[in-house]
Structure 1
Amino acid sequence: MSQFSSFGLAPHLLAALERASIVTPTQVQSEAIAPACQGRDILATAQTGTGKTFAYLLPLLTHIHTDRSRMGLVLVPTRELAIQVRSSIDQLCGRGSMRIGLLIGGEPIFKQIQSLKNKPQIIIGTPGRILDHLDRGTLVLQHCSFFVLDEVDRMLDMGFSQQLSAVHQHLPESVQTLMFSATMPKIIAVLAEKYLKNPHRITIGSVTQPVVNVKQDIVYTQENEKFDCLVKELEKYEGSVIIFRKTKRDTEYLAKKLKDKGHSAEVIHGDLRQHKRVLIVDQFRKELFRIIVATDIASRGIDVSHVKLVINYDLPLSPEDYVHRIGRTGRAGKEGFAVSFVVPSENRIWDNIKRFMQGESYSSHIRSDSYSKQRRDGDRFKNDRRRSGRGYGYGEGRPSHFNRSRGNEDQGFSGRRSFNREDDVSGQRSSHFSNDRLEQPKRSERPYGGRESSFVDKQEDSRSSRSSHYNRGRSYDRPSGERSSTFGRRRSNGSNHRISTSI
């Protein structure tokens, strides 16, 4: 194994690594640092928690150390990851030793404009805010000589492809580019051909699996029994915990239930103000509370070494997100545990995750099928006409497309609305759930001769018939002792069972 001293790094960086007791480079660092310091483009894929941040920061800082007039740009998908990268630079160089511009959503843009006037040597930011500054003319990249794309797969998954292309057009042709990713979808290979020149290719481990020191368990259960299972899991393990849910509202609901049970828990999602998110992550890192309940905003970018357990309270619809969620534990060579709850309506989602982690192809159209299955099974739908909507209950039963919020918007100087798409992926990915079915047809398209009363009467008859069909064999409005035999069999004692897996 190579040593950091053999890579040609700046002396102050070697001293900082020694002070941090970082003696031996990880595999991705061993294979990436030397070629990057020699000026080569890099295309690297490695599992989460393998040290990719230092693999590009050490060459970048050495690159700037040799010529203080040089400039570097680091693009990341989320605010949390941008702040983490900034913290890593401070760890290596000392706070205030370099001029750094942090350009992320949720922060006052006028402060960022002021920092850009100081001509920062390194700019770290998210694609949306970087492009905003480029459009305003407050950021100029014609002298940028080192370009890093971190978590490329995540940025593409969040829909930043056009923003990446727009940013790349502002860079000089001679720029050195490093691309790092945890997975390798085909679109990344296409981008690599476009952005990279004769890249040095690095692949560490399996790009479809987490690191081997994460033990995965599956708990098959029912929707209304999840919380009891969660309490048991929390009692079984020690250490810090991250619990993932699909929507912002669900995180708030679950955190409140945990607090009522005496657990110390906080939430993190895209609706929180930036200073609040930073405060929560900092307190979690200092172990001031044990549990974070989060949306997929935390599935990357939160590097907390003492996280012992990750719980997928709701399965992610993207298999890649599953890998990144459980990658929050087992970091820096430590042992970690991941527990996933699977309800009947999520069986196809779990099958897709297993196929992905075994390197097989999987269906990308799971969303609408899973949603239809929920309607048929009635796992999340309550027969209570007093509640609003189309029969949905509150809290953990609500699909993600009912919990969209305008909290991800921020207002710029020019009066335009720019969306911080990095804030909450779980809310965006549900966009192809169509709401057209809730709209009334135009009068010219109404059946039954276009008469208003006939259409409404027929619609009410249809709803009544559909309601009786959905509630067949269900017991939401029955006393506990009057459950149907079908319902009783499906919800019988012992329906929760646990499976350990090493996919």
Structure 2
Amino acid sequence: MSDSFDKLGLSRETLGALRQARFTRPTPIQEQAIPPALAGKDVIGCAATGTGKTAAYVLPLVERFAGRKGTLGLVLAPTRELVLQIAEPVRFFAEPRGLTHAVVIGGEDMGAQVKALKERPTFVLATPGRLVDLLENEAAAFPHLEALVLDEADRMLDMGFLPQLERIFTALPRRKQTLLFSATLGPEVSRFARQRLYKPVRVEVTRSGTPAERAEQRLYFVRAEEKTPLLLTLLARDDKTTLVFTRAKERVEKVHKALQKAGYRAALLHADRTQNQRRQAMDGFRDGTYRVLVATDIAARGLDVEDVGHVINYDLPHAPEDYVHRIGRTARAAASGVASTFAMTREGQVVTRIEGIMRAEIPRLSVPREDPVFKEQWELFLAAQRNPGPPQKDHGQAKRSADHAPGRHARTHKKRDS
């Protein structure tokens, strides 16, 4: 691996910006993807979440478009949050070179976006759905586009965006550079790439489906009613920032209420949250206002947090590939963390498929049913079953023990330098 960016063909201006951003050495995906991208070649990049892939396409495109006018680059991403996240490095590296950008996402004023596109920004950063709306209204056009980036292509296809992507391709010049990045390269992504990319350079810094190596994985086989007691037990054992994944928005609400009742500062993310609520939850999770964030896979897409210490899969994901996305969030940059997964016995086949994708077995741990927190929560559950009304248990004792549990409340922590 190269120990500096100097050997990648980048300009003096970009190298200076990298030093200013405190990027000391390229990540594997940057080292391998930047040279072919600079040369104008199509690239397929497979890398786990948090490995620096945004800079792997932003830097070469900034180099190629510096000093030129018109809309030359289009970046597509599956969620509003990810588009906004991409905008940050684009702004940092592109604006000093005189390059502009526009953000085109749902949930924001379309009129303002139409106005921004009329200014012919160098880069358009968009979600597929909103961009198609603008294309249908003849409010967007890309006659001189030279590069298309598909970020998290697997997620866009999983979310059903194939028709929108096909529509977008019909509006773009046939001759263009296409850069496709994905955490996994399943059959659907591979088929799409074969149809849409021309002699791509394939850059796979981790085997497709390989989780971040620094994540310590744990698997607990539980009964459904044991999930919440186990969740609260794991939270009481440390003070790590924790991201909890559930399958559906109703489950998000249920788990969030249980956490609040236990005294934890927790936020939630699901599809029905407003854009303002989503931003408030994510900002609070990043700055330590909330120790725990409960989310569905789609709602958490694009969430960029440097030091998630613990990812807990309260429910197994719908698609085995999503497991890789989830646990990748606990080993970004130089961080390491824990990924705990709850599975019921009948879900053994799902676990087998996940392990098949990763080519490794997830270590099994016993459910800590003798832990005081687990026993307390289990007693509360049994009391609720016996009495549909409020349990008659002495909550004063539960609250006192909760107050002494480590990491119970929000903590203040410094962000790592990126």
TM-score calculated relative to the size of structure 1 = 0.69
Structure 2 partner of 1:194: 195
Whether 1:19 and 2:52 are equivalent positions in the alignment is no
Pairing 1:335-374 to 2, within 5 Å after superposition: 335-358=336-359
Q: Is the 8 A contact 1:300 1:325 kept in 2?
A: no
Q: Is the 8 A contact 2:242 2:311 kept in 1?
A: yes
Q: Is the 8 A contact 2:146 2:177 kept in 1?
A: yes
Q: Is the 8 A contact 2:240 2:310 kept in 1?
A: yes
Separation of aligned partners in 2, 1:216 and 1:28: 24
Separation of aligned partners in 1, 2:309 and 2:283: 17
**Structure 1 residues 32-83: Cα deviation after superposition (integer angstroms, max 9, x where no partner):** 1011111111111122221111111111111221423352100111111111
* Higher RCO structure, 1 or 2 (CA under 8 Å, sep 6+): 2
Q: 1:154 to 1:359 in 2, by over 3 A?
A: farther
Pairing 1:40-439 to 2, within 5 Å after superposition: 40-93=41-94, 98-358=99-359
Q: Is the 8 A contact 1:300 1:328 kept in 2?
A: no
Structure 2 partner of 1:413: none
Separation of aligned partners in 2, 1:211 and 1:245: 21
Gaps spanning 5+ residues in structure 2: where?
A: 362-382, 389-418
Q: Is the 8 A contact 1:310 1:326 kept in 2?
A: yes
Instruction: Using the TM superposition, give the Cα deviation of residue 223 of structure 1 relative to its aligned residue in structure 2, in angstroms.
Output: 1.2
Separation of aligned partners in 2, 1:142 and 1:202: 29
- Determine which structure has more spread, i.e. the larger CA radius of gyration: 1
Q: 1:293 to 1:476 in 2, by over 3 A?
A: closer
How many residues are paired up?
A: 366
Q: 1:270 to 1:477 in 2, by over 3 A?
A: closer
Instruction: Using the TM superposition, give the Cα deviation of residue 145 of structure 1 relative to its aligned residue in structure 2, in angstroms.
Output: 0.8
Q: 1:271 to 1:477 in 2, by over 3 A?
A: closer
Structure 1 partner of 2:380: none
Gaps spanning 5+ residues in structure 1: where?
A: 361-474, 481-503
Q: Is the 8 A contact 2:71 2:121 kept in 1?
A: no
**Structure 1 residues 344-402: Cα deviation after superposition (integer angstroms, max 9, x where no partner):** 33223222222222289xxxxxxxxxxxxxxxxxxxxxxxxxxxxxxxxxxxxxxxxxx
Separation of aligned partners in 1, 2:96 and 2:303: 20
Separation of aligned partners in 1, 2:253 and 2:181: 33
**Structure 1 residues 214-237: Cα deviation after superposition (integer angstroms, max 9, x where no partner):** 010011211112111111111223
Separation of aligned partners in 2, 1:286 and 1:10: 35
Q: CA RMSD in A?
A: 2.3
Whether 1:32 and 2:33 are equivalent positions in the alignment is yes
Q: Give SS of 1:210's match.
A: coil
Separation of aligned partners in 1, 2:233 and 2:185: 36
Task: Extract structure 1 runs of 4+ deviating beyond 3 A.
Answer: 93-98, 475-480
Separation of aligned partners in 2, 1:12 and 1:313: 46
Instruction: Using the TM superposition, give the Cα deviation of residue 30 of structure 1 relative to its aligned residue in structure 2, in angstroms.
Output: 0.5
Q: Is the 8 A contact 2:269 2:300 kept in 1?
A: no
Q: 1:13 to 1:95 in 2, by over 3 A?
A: closer
Separation of aligned partners in 2, 1:125 and 1:279: 21
Percentage identity across aligned positions? 39
Q: Which amino acid aligns with 1:252?
A: E
Q: Is the 8 A contact 1:10 1:65 kept in 2?
A: no
